[in-house]
Structure 1
Amino acid sequence: MIIFKNKNFIFILSLLFITYSCDKPKIIHNDNGVVVDFSKTDNFPKGIKTSINVLSPTIIKITTGKTDSILNIPSLIVNEFVKKPVDFNIKETSQYLEVSTDSLIVKLNLANGAINFTDKNKTVLLTESGKEISPFKNQIVGQQNSIKQNFSFSKNEVLYGLGQQNKNTLNIRGQKFILDQQNTKISVPVILSTKGYGLYWDNYSRSTFDDTSDTTYIASEIGDKIQYYFIKGTRLDHVISGLRDLTGTAPMVPKWALGYVQSRNRYKNREILMDVVKKQRELNIPLDVIILDYLHWGDSGFGSMIFDPVDFPNPEEMIQELHDKYHCKIITSVWPSLKKNIPNWKLFKKDDLLLDLDLGVFGQVHDAFNPEAGQLYYDLVKKSYIDKGIDGIWFDATEPEKLEKFEKTQCYLGPTAKFLNLFSYFDMKNVYERQRETAKNRIVNLTRSGFLGQQKFGSILWSGDIGIDFKTLKEQIPTGLNLCMTGIPYWNTDIGGYLGGDPNDPKYQEVFTRWFQYGTFTPFFRAHGRREPIKTRDGENELWSYGTKNQEILKKYVNLRYQLLPYIYTISHKVSTEGYTMMRALAFDFMDDKNVHEINDQFMFGNCIMVCPVLEENATKRSIYLPKGSKWYNFWTNEVYEGGQTIETECPIETIPLFIKGGSILPMGEIMQYANEKPNTEIELKIYPDTDATFLLYEDENDNYNYLDGKFTQIPISYSKQDQTLKIGPTKGEFDNMLTKRNFNVTIIGKQNGDKITIPYNGTEINYKL
């Protein structure tokens, strides 16, 4: 037996000399782990090397390839820095090699190369069961390898992830998924398990996850090697945090990006766009953003990046008026393709910066994998939009479209099929990293595709050109939850679906209203769609388009979104600093309650609010499961229920069922017409007193990067159930023009005579007996 302790470089030898026979793999130790060389053995898998690298006590990188050079090819996505030296042990026997940390044991079978992962209690988390690296060659990609890794999952283990796959199921077990990028489909090869671990399959070609037979496998069409990262976490939040450690932190979005965003396909001219914003303000319906979608360039063609001089004359003046008069931001649509023979296309063409991918009327796609093409594309976006004052960019069709043609092209990195799923990643990287060098305000980009790591480019993903019915709405709930469980936190849908829908049709009005209620509790709150009449491409989609009664219902939810901004903005900070997830499958917070593992029509919005969308036509009641471990309060009626039971609750058209977890403090601000209208001088604290409760209220300057330099405040708020005492701690931190005085208006939910109590606060600690 050989025991190797990394930290102190201590070897304990049971034999004075150790020799390896020709059929025993060679074991090479290094600073971060070990390489097992099977290349001179007669055992399976002959001719390969497997590397086990310890990146942290809970993160292990597994690589299998045929040469040292292939083993050491760096990941395009993962930053493999080790924050601090990791203490781990290596133990060898004649049959196994074990690498262990204080959290994990990784055991490699020296006879067949299979690996299993156990926790420190020897509970098996994940087991490999065979692997393949098979050479193949064709005229498009040349000489390549295909790869396959078999895994054995536990019988009752529930798995999540793989991105946006448009299934009405949350659990991905027992299914087969083809992982590529298409309109309405965002594939991210990340899996999370209810056993408390996650796995990132580090490959960018078309891949397959297949759990339809006894042996589950992940396979990729093209791969130099098999490579994946195993992340252990006692909670799913820990796994997501590990993924962000590996691939990048999500920066904070500006506060205005958490308000309401109005859009339609499309605002045909300046007058129509400005009239919508003006009417929104006149009706006192809160609004932060208007979106100017495609064809604002008139007949100049996709990729021209101009404002049509007839429909949108003097765009700088329009943008300035939106900002100064209406306090409204504007986001503009941009495509990755350029119409042939327009001036911008010629700029790319002369330096061979285009893919051989012609999308017809949409033009020819630029090679986002090429840094030179990325620089040119950014320069054009900056000159045409950012320098004119546009507040954010909507990068449409970043899969890009026509997958069957795209995968046959050659890109800067080689055969595009090898990097198939990364176009959006590089497209956002090209713009974000260059913009970030000079940006004073936080960057917002909305995009139709994505991959793990794209969160660090501030990307907000959406689910593409989806349907407009209840069936589609049902699918969006688990679809969005699974996307958010791949480490990308900001996601949304076209509220009401994309293609079709008549605002004058009572049946569609119901779909839109129920969808809008759901959209209130997605990370990005945006109505969009190509409504009737479809042919004109400018069907109305504003709240007043759906009739007076529905307008009032929709306005109620916009108002609620703005009241919740103190809560939502605090959660957004946790996304950036703790690797948190805003839109949460119930397993995030109630892993021990197996009843929630496959619930696909309820979710948590932050850790306080459980959202239960209404997904059936003409529904006035719906069944809801209340997770074990706490009491639950009906947000609208304050009725209280014990957890661990299924109830039926009323849900007339004006109501989406919302339940607040007992032991919560829910801060709510005033209704504002836009997110930064004024400071929150009055904050209501709703206390749901099942158990002790805490909340750490976060504030900063809302739309710059000073928070990275410590310019923010946090106010710790806690409630002791036993003492019935509210403690508001001293304000921690500071920033320019911060509030120094405010009122907290406190309500104990469920308490008799539960009137609001106003507590003046000046930044010093308060203990108040309630």
Structure 2
Amino acid sequence: MLVSNTLLQVIEGHNYLDLITNAARYRIILMKDEVIRIRCSFDEQFVEEASYVLAMTAWEDKLDSIVDGRKKIEALPVNYQDSDTQFVLSTQKLNVIIHKQPFAIEIQDKQGTVLHADLKERSYVKDKQGRLYHYSCMNDEDYFYGFGEKAGALNKKKRRMRMHNVDTLGYDSEHTDPLYKHIPFYIKLNGKTQQATGLFYHNSYDSVFDMGCERSGYWNPYSYFCADGGELDIFFMYGPEIKDVVRHYTDLTGKTILPAKYSLGYMGSTMYYTELEKDSDKAILSFLDKCKEEGIPCDGFFMSSGYTTGQDGKRYVFNWNNDRFPDPKAFIGELMQKGAALVPNIKPGMLTTHPLYKEFDEAGAYVKDQNGEGPQTDRYWGGLASFVDFTNPEGRALWKKHLKESFISLGVTSIWNDNNEYEINNEDALCDFEGEGKPISELRPIMPNLMAQMAKEAIAEVEPNIRPYIVNRAGFAGIQRFAQTWAGDNSTSWKSLKFNIPVILGMGLSGVANQGCDIGGFFGPAPEPELFVRWVQNGIFQPRFSIHSCNTDNTVTEPWMYPSYTKYIREAIRLRYKLAPYFYSLLFEASTEGSPVMRPLVYEFQQDARVWEESFDFMLGRSILVANVLEEQAKTRKVYLPKGCDWIEWNSKKRYAGGQTIEFDVTLASIPMFLRTGAIVPMAVGLNNLHQDVMEELRLIIEPSEDASFVLYEDDGLTNDYQRGAYLQTTIRVKAGQETVISFSNEGEYDSTLKTLVIDLICKEIAPVQVKLQGRKLAMFLDPKEWNDQAEGWYYDTEQKTAKIKYSQLQTDYEVSVHFDVKDLISI
């Protein structure tokens, strides 16, 4: 076993510092004031920089030409002070202290608060099996979040978790580990200092995090990361807020790709239709017609892999079953006419009986056996298969060729990448790795990322101005740059409904803002009516909203499967469509800032200790607290409202002080939601299809008792014209006071379709006395019917304590001022 205990030599390079110890070599790079890279190798030299993952570097990398949009920055100069016992490197925000003996690295803020400390005498270790360990000190006050897609509660303290992609059909969302994603990143919040930091381990070998599960009386409390190989390549990120850490992490690994707007709609799906003996196309088209008949909006259909079934009953990627789909191009065209995108399921494992197997084999496009002499085969759905090697230029080229021929040439610009965990059991199977060769054990989780990248590139090569919509089941750090993800084949149960929420919240804290789960449950019997209603009511808040099933009792999970309950499903989905402008603006924020869409309460209320372990109530963006009913036969619901603001119940507009737990009655129709003070929520009126309907009226809910701002984002939702300036960012600012001013300032060149804007201004104590638009008084109405008939004006809803202000949308920057002076009717 090798352990770094003594610092022997310091070598200063250009914007880095190399440290030579008795066991390993280290390189410290100050990337930014808040981001420190610590690279550790137990070999004599570092391997060549070659990352498929990093979106930001401060060095040359072998794969720069392959990683699209990688940003290069200049690292900070390395200035340090030397003393008898330590070196100290400094940035504007941090001090990095290198203890000479025993060797360890400690990071402090400028006030001397310890943010991270290696466990001295066993900080960096390599064992006889080649496994690498990094041990960190931990405190009783520490809370740990992130880790990608992990089952169980939000806080992962006292958990041991394995990082490995695996196909976990019917998993237990509270206990199963690992799941489909492999993201070796976490956020630590210290409850005593209330400061947040992050650690990203840039290592794609299988690994383990132990967050205080292991203890030893000989050592202070510790956590550790253990990887099966590679290097300990660690990126430390400083907050002090959780949202700062997430922003820095997504600077490193990339922001969430801005999706096509229709992806926010309801996406129908089931395995059942594509397993019919024939006429699966008609079944899917009939599904869309039924949606319209039932008044349920729908914008697409995830088509399961039964469409690829060959004569022998096996699934063959890129193959269309002509009994089920006689004319794929015509079918896709009919879907588009009905306002729905087709999202076909594709898989990277190709059965040895596949008609295209030989073509890929002759091109050397598969992951090879350990001798590099032929394709590696392994278990897969349907039999033995080989797996396309996306680290091989030939594999990438062939894959894109068949994507274009089978789908994109027919009008498909949405791809569903499934079963891409690369469960190859021979750890020594060889990947091409751009001609240099590396074992699958080092590259397994990278493959699904590259698979998504190839879909993005293939669509761009055929339809350069169409925005791709890609969905991935597996992935590594950075998957958000290419794809929306979902939490795989969940089981049908109340537990899945409940614990899929922290699974999604953890992904959001791990950089993947666009995420969801199969609504209603994928694997198991049909959900009983109450469970189905509650799952839809929860699912409408997930960025990916799809009811998808493979029921084990010969049923199909459809919105109308329980006719007497369809009204609840319909109303929930319609609420989803009303919130579409808010969702789209939040996804734009994710694409620029890295912010999650669904946010754990601790993300917004880090100073409130009572939310540090809240796993099930969450924020939708900054403004809306969602407290879904998650318990069977619930008649009441308790919810803790975080301190620091007031809360307004969504429907009644009843106001509550923060920092208290309230209890209220619920019915099957209940979707408990609360607005925080300072909320700004844009909502659509009359949208039933995001492909075809034009948003002409916008409803803007504003709670104006504190200063706030929100960016409403608009573009055409389908093309890449936004990258060339065809977008509109409207910054809405609220200046609170006796005269409340709501200002609108625009950036961009997109011609908005909005014609009418209605502001629902939630008033705290009194009604307005006057409303002005650009200094011009708006007419005040006492009768809401009369107000409704006019093009502009305002009235006060006494029951809701809401001033409703309506006017024609202006194309320039402007202000609305609302005066809250008390009008003295007596003295006059």
If the length of structure 2 is used for normalisation, what is the TM-score? 0.83
Q: Deviations over 1:628-670 (max 9, x none)?
A: 1000111122111000111112221111211111111211111
CA contact (8 A) 2:296 2:573 kept: yes
**Matches of 1:24 and 1:384, distance apart in 2:** 58
- For structure 1, which segment, 664-673 or 350-359, has the greater mean C-alpha deviation from structure 2 after superposition? 350-359
The answer for the alignment partner of 2:772 in structure 1 is none
Tell me the residue number matched to 1:767: 816
How far apart, in 1, do the equivalents of 2:87 and 2:678 lie? Answer: 46
Q: Distance in 2 between matches of 1:177 and 1:755?
A: 51
* Matching residue's letter, 2:197: Y
- Note the alpha carbon deviations across 1:96-155, whole angstroms, 9 max, x for none: 111110011111111122011111111111111123443656xxxxxxx32001001222
- Counterpart position of 1:329: 341
Q: For each residue in 1:53-78, what CA deviation from the matched residue of structure 2 results, as whole angstroms up to 9, or x when unmatched?
A: 11111111001113463265444422
Alignment-derived partner of residue 212 in structure 1:
213
Q: 1:31 aligns with which of 4, 11, 14?
A: 14
Q: 5 Å matches for 1:63-212?
A: 63-67=39-43, 69-70=45-46, 73-78=49-54, 79-81=56-58, 82-84=72-74, 86=76, 89-129=79-119, 130-134=122-126, 136=128, 145-167=130-152, 169-184=153-168, 185=179, 186-194=181-189, 195-210=195-210, 211-212=212-213
1:241 aligns with 2:247: yes
Cα distance in structure 1, aligned partners of 2:719 and 2:664: 43
For 1:416, the equivalent position in structure 2 comes to: 440
Change (3 A) 1:235 1:24: closer
- 2:746, 2:41 → 1: CA distance? 54
CA offsets 1:537-581 (integer angstroms, 9 cap, x no match):
xx3222111223x21111111111111111111111111112221
Conserved? CA contact 2:187–2:242, under 8 Å: yes
**1:461-480, aligned counterparts within 5 Å?**
461-480=485-504
Task: Spell out, residue by residue over 1:646-703, the C-alpha distance to the aligned partner (whole angstroms, 9 max, x if none).
Answer: 1112221111211111111211111312114333221112122332232221111211
TM-aligned CA distance change 1:180 to 1:509, over 3 Å: same
How has the CA–CA distance of structure 1 residues 437 and 128 changed in structure 2, closer, same or farther, with 3 Å as cutoff? farther
**1:315 aligned residue (322, 328, 334):** 328
Q: Does 1:258 align with 2:264?
A: yes
Secondary structure in structure 2 of the residue aligned to 1:697: strand
The answer as to 2:316 corresponding to 1:303 is yes
Please give the per-residue CA displacement for 1:187-208, whole angstroms capped at 9, x wherever unaligned.
3110112231111011111111
2:118 alignment partner AA? E
1:225 shift after superposition: 2.3
CA contact (8 A) 1:630 1:690 kept: no
Amino acid at match of 2:378: D
Quick check: 1:53 aligned with 2:59? no
- Other structure's SS at 1:158 match: strand
Does residue 1:62 correspond to 2:38, yes or no? yes
Q: Is the 8 A contact 1:88 1:102 kept in 2?
A: no
Distance 1:740 1:681, change over 3 A: closer
What amino acid is the match of 1:479? V
Query: Cα distance 1:87–1:222, how it changes in 2: closer, same or farther (>3 A)?
Result: same
Corresponding residue of 2:560: 544
- How many angstroms apart in 2 are the aligned matches of 1:345 and 1:425? 22
Cα distance in 1 for partners of 2:574, 2:187 equals 35
Higher mean alpha-carbon deviation, 474-483 vs 85-94, is at 85-94
Letter in 2 for 1:621: T
Structure 1 residues 360-375: aligned runs within 5 Å: 360=380, 361=382, 363-375=385-397
Give the C-alpha shift of residue 257 in structure 1: 0.6
Cα drift, residue 408 of structure 1: 5.1
**C-alpha spacing 1:157/1:68, structure 2 compared with 1 (3 Å):** same
Whole-angstrom distance in 2 between the partners of 1:216 and 1:375: 46
For 1:136 and 1:385, the matched residues in 2 are separated by 49
| Matches of 1:218 and 1:449, distance apart in 2 | 24
> TM-score by structure 1 length?
0.90
Instruction: For residue 570 of structure 1, give the secondary structure of its aligned residue in structure 2.
Output: helix
Q: CA RMSD, aligned part only? A: 2.1
**Paired residues of 2:422 and 2:444 also in contact (CA < 8 A):** no
Residue in structure 1 matched with residue 575 of structure 2 by the alignment? 560
Query: How do 1:317-466 and structure 2 match up within 5 A?
Result: 317-324=330-337, 326-355=338-367, 356-360=376-380, 361=382, 363-401=385-423, 405=425, 407=427, 409-412=429-432, 413-438=437-462, 439-457=464-482, 459-466=483-490
Q: State the AA in 2 paired with 1:173.
A: K
CA distance in 1: counterparts of 2:267 and 2:760, whole angstroms: 31
Contact 1:266/1:294, CA 8 A, preserved across alignment: no
SS at match of 2:45: helix
Tell which deviates more after alignment, 99-108 or 578-587. 578-587
Q: Per-residue deviation at 1:755?
A: 4.6
| CA deviation after TM superposition for structure 1 residue 430, in Å | 3.1
Superposition map of 1:11-30 within 5 A? 25-30=8-13
Q: Hey, what's the Cα distance between the residues in 2 that align with 1:532 and 1:547?
A: 21
For residues 268-319 of structure 1, the C-alpha deviation after alignment (integer angstroms, 9 at most, x for no partner) is 3111111001111222211111121111023253334122112101111111
- Measure the CA separation in 2 of the matches of 1:623 and 1:148: 43
The CA distance in 1 between the partners of 2:249 and 2:73, in whole Å, is 14
Q: Give CA-to-partner distance per residue, 1:9-37, whole Å, 9 cap, x none.
A: xxxxxxxxxxxxxx862211122231111
Kindly state the Cα deviation for residue 262 of structure 1 after the two structures are TM-superposed: 0.9
2:475 match: secondary structure: coil
Higher mean C-alpha deviation, range 419-428 or range 443-452: 419-428
Distance 1:58 1:72, change over 3 A: farther
Whether 2:599 is the aligned partner of 1:584: answer: yes
Question: What one-letter code is carried by the residue in structure 2 that aligns with 1:177?
Answer: M
Task: State the alpha-carbon separation in 1 of the partners of residues 810 and 553 from structure 2.
Answer: 55
The one of 507, 530, 536 equivalent to 1:510 is: 530
* Residues in 1 aligned to 2:647 and 2:300: alpha-carbon distance in whole angstroms: 34
Give the secondary structure class of the aligned counterpart of 1:281. Answer: helix
Q: 1:767 to 1:444 in 2, by over 3 A?
A: same
Residue in structure 2 matched with residue 738 of structure 1 by the alignment: 752
Is 1:593 the counterpart of 2:613 in the alignment?
no
Amino acid in structure 2 at the alignment position of 1:237: K
Q: Percent of aligned positions with the same letter in both sequences? A: 26
In 2, Cα distance between equivalents of 1:70 and 1:24: 17
Any residues of structure 2 matched to 1:744-755 within 5 Å, and which?
Answer: 744-748=758-762, 753=798, 754-755=802-803
SS at match of 1:241: helix
Q: Which amino acid aligns with 1:340?
A: T
Return closer, same or farther for 1:72/1:343 CA change in 2, 3 Å cut-off: closer
Q: 1:88 Cα shift?
A: 5.3
The amino acid of 1:760's aligned partner reads S
Specify the alignment match of 2:521 in structure 1. 497
Report the equivalent of 1:7: none
Give, in angstroms, the shift of residue 743 of structure 1.
2.6
Q: Which amino acid aligns with 1:281?
A: K
Aligned to 2:825: none
Structure 2 spans left out of the alignment, 5+ residues: 1-5, 59-71, 169-178, 190-194, 216-220, 275-279, 368-375, 768-797, 820-828
